[in-house]
Amino acid sequence: MPRASSRLIDPSDADALADGRHADPFAVLGPHRTRGGWVIRAFLPQAAAAWVQAAGGEAEMSRVHPAGLFAARVDEAAAAAYRLRLAGHDGQGWIIDDPYRFGPVLGELDIHLLVEGRHLRTFEKLGAHVTVRDAIDGVHFALWAPNARRVSVVGDFNGWDGRCHPMRLRHGAGVWELFVPGLGAGAHYKYELLDAGGTLLPLKADPYGHYAEVPPKTASVVWDLADRAWSDGEWMAGQGRRNDRHAPVSIYEVHLGSWRRVPEDGGRPLGYLEMAEQLSAYVKEMGFTHVELLPVHEHPFSGSWGYQPVGLFAPTSRYGTPEDFRTLVETLHANGIGVIVDWVAGHFPRDAHGLHRLDGSHLYEHEDPRQGLHKDWDTLIYNYGRTEVRNFLYSNALYWMEQYHVDGLRVDAVASMLYLDYSRKPGEWVPNRHGGNENLEAIEFLRRMNEVVYAEHPGVMTIAEESTAWPMVSRPTWLGGLGFGFKWNMGWMHDTLRYFSKEPVHRRYHHDDLTFGLLYAFHENFVLPLSHDEVVHGKGSIIARMPGDRWRRFANLRAYYAFMWTHPGKKLLFMGSEFGQEREWNCDGSLDWHLLEDGLHEGVRRLVRDLNRLYRVEPALHQLDCEPAGFAWVDCTDRDNSVLSFLRRGHDPDEVCLVVCNLTPVVRHDYRIGVPAGGFWHEVFNSDSHWYGGSDIHNDGGRHADPQPWHHQPCSLALTLPPLAVTVFKRSR
């Protein structure tokens, strides 16, 4: 092999590479044919000397720039297949493969689909992927940054020196890519960018990164999401049946970091693997059908509970690895429990290592703060009008279903997405093209997101947290709806909490708080939520709102839960509320599990467990949750006694449950209730049972219906109504 000559590189190219300013490193580095033959160039600041190794021998490289730029003339065969042997300043030697001898990884079809916005799985192409090129193991990095002058991948492997691994720009798509041979899972990395003006930006974490350092550290970590041998095939085959609006859906909302901690280990949170064992066993015992996890996306500030995510594609490393999180999902499925993940597609934080001004421009967010700044949370709003941003979010929705087998997404803060003037004063927002306050681009994004999700994974569910009267949130897009599977019923939550917080003597004046919701209960597919939002920010716990002495507070809470579980709509309860947590939720500590040593707290837990069982085994209580045929008032007018009674029905007309609510502490004897048929009506549930801490006033297992018409029904029951209690009856068949 010939030796290197002194004229091996243009001095301006050498200076630009040494200064980290060269926008097209592949035009200079790696093998290139010149007038004098083939030349190989490499920027190796860590090397004191370097050689090109090929089948025909070895050629010493000349240092052509003092910063560490080397070059050598080689023959054509060597240029086609070679490695670099390096000697360090300490005399140690090693061999590497040159990243700049490899061609592009992204194909023209990938680029075309990325540009058109039709690549629904951009997570398969962008980000960091362990791969093999020309029989060489390595990692392919790709970042969308169309307005950057130069992008480099930096990490432990190159001393965080942005001059070492500048990336190739794929013109037209604005995507920078580089295959770095020799790297594998576990490598820490970020991206170093120069903006369009040449200014060095803060190092950026990978928007598509699968894993990250444990906060407060912020580097991304290469992780190989190779195909897992999942063992939940039976669950996935029946996923649609379990998530259907005719199925029993009772959701236990969980913040992983504060559900249960390990006091003997400094009060640390449980990891994903520990949660897999303990949470799944507890939720199974309690009878919940699903868990909903507060956002598990990587987030820098623990106090945001995950609602200000930086890494939408990374389960937070606070509790373990991505594979550990997969095990958590798989274990929950093995125990018959679905997994819903809170999904934050409405805003993102302004942390320097995140999406904010990723390439020096307003890339993911709107430039105009009247459109791009969320004043309530000091966060940034996605630019839903941009193809690449929409694709980023569509792909993320599919990612959680395909890579982690989640059963649904609860979309956070949908109202803030729908309205341009959300939480803004006049003059602080920009009207849409029709002069209105609807965010037309966000509306189109949500519709398309739901279409994509349900088309690709028809068995999952999407749930909107939407607090306004926006119509048809959970109706198909072809009917003009937003396409969600379900919507949180925030109105029901506010009305009922207000009612149950009143002293019973005053409830006759607030009777409509319990009945009004049935005027619109079937306009949407509703979830009845008592979520984390109701136990924070000075609101106290649910039981803290209950009036009266200690016994009455617990009786009220039991009656409230029984009313909720028998009311039309799917159920959601935040952790700790199932046993009457007294304190307001603290995300930095554990739930107060010691309260279960108290009989009244244990009684509430038993009640919720039994309500879940009743809800699941009685078709009348869940099959027609979202349809008018599943509900009928018997009597909603007895405000003076604060008594409500109604029927719940299933698909089978003979599947009927009678629910009677006595919401004062007065026992009512021989209270007559109309029923649709004669026979014996079993008392299948009583929230006043001694088993739950009640006074154990009951109806001796049930009552025979009298042929006395009442409440426009052909028959009636003369019942004893226990105080501050809900009873459920089912006709014997």
Tokens (6 digits) for 614: 């009743």
Mean predicted confidence (pLDDT) in 53-71:
93
- Residue 546 pLDDT exceeds 80: yes
Mean predicted confidence (pLDDT) in 103-129:
90
The DSSP letter of residue 45 is T
pLDDT tens digits along 265-288: 999 999 999 999 999 999 999 999
Mean predicted confidence (pLDDT) in 50-71:
94
pLDDT tens digits along 48-57: 999 999 998 9
Residues, the chain: 733
pLDDT tens digits along 72-93: 999 999 999 999 999 998 889 9
Residue of higher predicted confidence among 722 and 106:
722
Q: Which helix (H) or strand (E) holds 516?
A: none
- Residue 1 pLDDT exceeds 70: no
Query: Which fold is adopted by the domain 11-101?
Result: Immunoglobulin-like (2.60.40)
For the chain, what is the mean pLDDT? Answer: 95
- Residue 255 pLDDT exceeds 80: yes
Mean predicted confidence (pLDDT) in 560-574:
98
pLDDT of res. 6: 47
pLDDT of res. 704: 96
Interaxial angle between packed helices 599-617 and 272-286, expressed in degrees from 0 to 180 and rounded to the nearest 10: 80
Distance of CA 14 to the CA centre of its chain: 47
Of the pLDDT bands very low, low, confident and very high (cuts 50, 70, 90), residue 442 is very high
Instruction: Give the Cβ contact number of residue 303 at 10 Å.
Output: 9
> How far is Cα 462 from Cα 483, in angstroms, rounded to an integer?
9
pLDDT of res. 3: 35
pLDDT of res. 4: 35
Of the pLDDT bands very low, low, confident and very high (cuts 50, 70, 90), residue 14 is very high
pLDDT of res. 391: 94
Q: What are the boundaries of each domain within the chain?
A: 11-101, 108-221, 233-488, 495-523+535-733
Give me the amino acid identity at 458.
Answer: P
- Planar angle of CA 594, 598, 603, nearest 5 degrees: 110
pLDDT of res. 5: 40
The correct answer on CATH 2.60.40.1180 for the domain covering 495-523+535-733 is yes
Query: Which fold is adopted by the domain 233-488?
Result: TIM Barrel (3.20.20)
Give me the amino acid identity at 257.
Answer: G
Instruction: Give the Cβ contact number of residue 510 at 10 Å.
Output: 16
- % of the chain exceeding 90 in pLDDT: 92
CA torsion 55→56→58→60, rounded to 10°?
Answer: -130
Do the first three CATH levels of 108-221 and 233-488 match, i.e. the same topology? no
pTM of the predicted protein model: 0.95
Residues 257-262: contacts with CB within 8 Å, 24+ apart?
257/302, 257/318, 257/319, 257/587, 257/588, 258/585, 258/586, 258/587, 258/588, 258/589, 258/590, 258/591, 259/575, 259/590, 259/591, 260/590, 260/591, 260/593, 261/589, 261/590
Of the pLDDT bands very low, low, confident and very high (cuts 50, 70, 90), residue 184 is very high
pLDDT of res. 464: 98
pLDDT of res. 88: 93
Instruction: Give the Cβ contact number of residue 68 at 10 Å.
Output: 20
pLDDT of res. 172: 84
pLDDT of res. 226: 85
Tokens (6 digits) for 652: 């089978």
- Residue 498 pLDDT exceeds 70: yes
- % of the chain exceeding 70 in pLDDT: 99
Mean predicted confidence (pLDDT) in 158-171:
95
Mean predicted confidence (pLDDT) in 310-331:
97
Residues 350-356: contacts with CB within 8 Å, 24+ apart?
350/378, 350/379, 350/380, 351/218, 351/300, 351/310, 352/202, 353/190, 353/202, 353/203, 353/204, 353/205, 353/218, 353/300, 353/310, 354/204, 354/205, 354/300, 354/310, 355/207, 355/310, 355/380, 356/380
Residue of higher predicted confidence among 228 and 506:
506
pLDDT of res. 72: 95
Q: Which residues are catalytic?
A: 412, 465
pLDDT of res. 210: 97
pLDDT of res. 25: 95
Mean predicted confidence (pLDDT) in 692-699:
97
How many Å from the N-terminal Cα to the C-terminal Cα in the chain? 94
Specify the CATH number for 108-221; select among 3.40.109.10, 2.60.40.10, 1.20.210.10, 1.10.3720.10.
2.60.40.10
- Residue 733 pLDDT exceeds 80: no
Tokens (6 digits) for 353: 């290592």
> How far is Cα 661 from Cα 555, in angstroms, rounded to an integer?
12
Low-confidence winner among 16-25, 185-194, 573-582 (lowest mean pLDDT): 16-25
> How far is Cα 350 from Cα 581, in angstroms, rounded to an integer?
34
For 314-334, letters b (16+ CB in 10 Å) and e give: bbbbbbbbbbbbbbbbbbbbe
Of the pLDDT bands very low, low, confident and very high (cuts 50, 70, 90), residue 112 is confident
